[in-house]
Structure 1
Amino acid sequence: MVVLVTRPNVEGHELCMMLNESGIASLHHPLINIEPSSKITGLDRALQRADIVIAVSQHAVSYAHQYLQEHALNWPKTSHYLAVGQKTAQLLSKLSQQKVNYPSQSDSEHLLELDELQNVAHQKIVILRGNSGRELIYQTLDKRMADVSYVETYTRQHLDFNSDSKVIQWQEAKVSHLVVTSSDQLTHFLSQLTSAQIHWIQTLQLYVPSERIARQAKALGFVYITNVGSATNKELLAALRLNKQDD
């Protein structure tokens, strides 16, 4: 069993280390690079006017906190804080020293079911996110008559690669499992491959964090798909270890 991990930066390295410590071989091939956004200026003004602050990822939180620290600013104590997932909520709560609520399932659909977002007409809501992503939260809250705005705290940059050399490397390493943690990364990954290479990739056991991405993967031709239900390294590791036991 050899796992190809495509998640970026620190998280990808961390998951590979956890896999290796569990006796599972892995290769790290990040598909995106994440950096602070130049559009983060004005974050403090947006936060100060916000009734509700929504963080869509840990990156959104960490880069926002970094900006606040650099400018000797604090997270407001009068806002209600929400996060898409548990790990993001935990990080936001730790850094802001505020209570943060989150849905039982880590996705936009379940976030929008939270009580705090049902009667939001005329409330000012700030969404902390990267330079791209789904528009569902914004569009739904806008329909609910909220005053919604984004603050872009970080940017994602796709990392192109030479698929001819990489796929040969992965095949020689006997890669059998693949971890992809976002819809955007999955689409970019396949865009870099030839038809023959895609056919081979589709034979791997794919691990994704949500039912939405699982449906996307199935539509793209993947056959062996495991929906982990979470993008945390802990849950990904648990699912991969379970698969190793079944082998």
Structure 2
Amino acid sequence: MAAPRNEAEKSALEKFRVTTKYEELSDGVLMRYLRARDLDLTRAEDAITSSLEWKLNRIEKQSFSYWKPPPEFESTFKVYFTGLDVDGRVVLYINFDEWLPLRPLFEKYKPAEIVVFAYHVLANIHRQIAHSKQQQLVCIWDNADIGFSKIFHEVQNWAEIQTLREVVQMMDLNFPETLYKAFFINTARAVVYGFSLIKPFLRPYTLAKILIHGCDESTWMPLLREYLSDDLIPANLGGTADLKKSLYDYVR
């Protein structure tokens, strides 16, 4: 579970367990909502209510409960699972260049399908780590070989930007405090510009967890090794982890 980290969190969780109407939720889930709302019991309760309403309106009422995403989604949004850290956090690696171009997929499928796909992936991750100490994940997001031409091609499709914003909002609403750290590495100015389009939709506590670094390995590799052992860092970055296991295989 997402265990309390200090006495203030422990006290807030004990009070929330007594006052919340969502008695069926685990302490770990309640703790994550409390952290995301600065231990404010009322705001945490409201956030849970909003999450349940979102699931009702976007999943159940739109018949997405048993929906199977097209295989093309997994082959496009490649995410590699490199292992679990010492606290049981899922460690992921994304080579952003492998995702591009995204425009054909966004033009072929409805935005709701992509948002629900992201929701199901995160829900499956949570089922895997429900009993871990922190119920969180770490992401290494590699932006190597991404220049202005590729980013400009993507941002011309406004529906794509809007969908990505909705994915970000969905994550914050339904999976608060899931992200532990996101390391953006090999990041050129073009990617920073693209990120600026969704940045306003990220809460400050989430932004603080996203660490953006340029292409100088000496600036980001020591930081990766501060948080991760070499067997969790991909071999192409200087670690020893292979990229043979997909996240989707891990959570299936």
Report the TM-score when normalising by structure 1.
Answer: 0.29
Q: Which has the higher helix share?
A: 2
Q: Which has the higher strand share?
A: 1
Report the TM-score when normalising by structure 2.
Answer: 0.28
